[in-house]
Structure 1
Amino acid sequence: MSDPLRPVAVSAEQLPPRSKPSNYPEPFASRMAGREKRALGDVFGLANFGVNLTRLAPNAVSSLRHAHSRQDEFIYVLQGHPTLHTDHGRTLLGPGDCAGFKAGSGDAHCLRNETEETVVYLEVGDRTPGDQGSYPDDDLRAVMLNGQWAFQHKDGTPYP
Structure 2
Amino acid sequence: MSDKPMSLNADGISEPFASDTVPWEEWSEGSRYGTRYRYLSGFGGATHVGVALEELSPGKESSLNHYHMLEEEQAFILQGEMTLRLGDKTYPMKAGDHVVFPAGQKAGHSFYNHSDAPCRFIIIGEKNPNDVIFYAETGRIGVRLMGEGYDRSATMEYWQGADTEQKRRV
TM-score of the pair, normalised by structure 1: 0.81
2: distance between equivalents of 1:77 and 1:42? 20
| Matched length | 146
Q: Which has the higher contact order (CA 8 A, sep 6+)?
A: 1
User: Deviating runs (4+, > 3 A) in structure 1?
Assistant: none
Query: Alignment identity in percent?
Result: 25
In structure 2, do the counterparts of structure 1 residues 3 and 79 end up closer, same or farther at CA, with 3 Å as the change threshold? closer
Q: Letter of the aligned partner of 2:21 in structure 1? A: Q
Q: 2:96 aligns to what? A: 96
Contact 2:14 2:45 in 1 (8 A): no
Q: Quick check: 1:73–1:123 contact (8 Å CA) kept in 2?
A: yes
Larger radius of gyration: 2
Partner of 1:26: none
| Contact 2:33–2:60 under 8 Å retained in 1 | yes
Q: Which secondary structure does the structure 2 equivalent of 1:145 belong to?
A: helix
The aligned counterpart of 1:25 is none
| 1:15 aligns with one of 16, 22, 39 | 22
1:38 equivalent in structure 2: 38
Matches within 5 A, 1:18-29: 18=25, 21=27, 29=29
Write the letter of the residue equivalent to 1:154: R
Unaligned runs of 5+ in 2: 1-6, 155-170
Equivalent position amino acid for 1:63 in 2: S
- TM-score in terms of structure 2 length: 0.77
RMSD across aligned positions (CA)? 2.3
Confirm or deny: 8 A CA contact 1:39 1:52 kept in the other structure.
Answer: yes
Q: Secondary structure at the match of 1:121?
A: strand
Residue 8 of structure 1, CA deviation: 1.7
CA distance in 2, matches of 1:93, 1:61: 14
Question: Cα deviations across residues 49-95 of structure 1 (Å, max 9, x unaligned)?
Answer: 10011000101111111000000000000011111101150110110
Other structure's SS at 1:50 match: strand
1:4 aligns with 2:2: no
CA distance 1:7–1:47, change in 2 (3 Å): closer
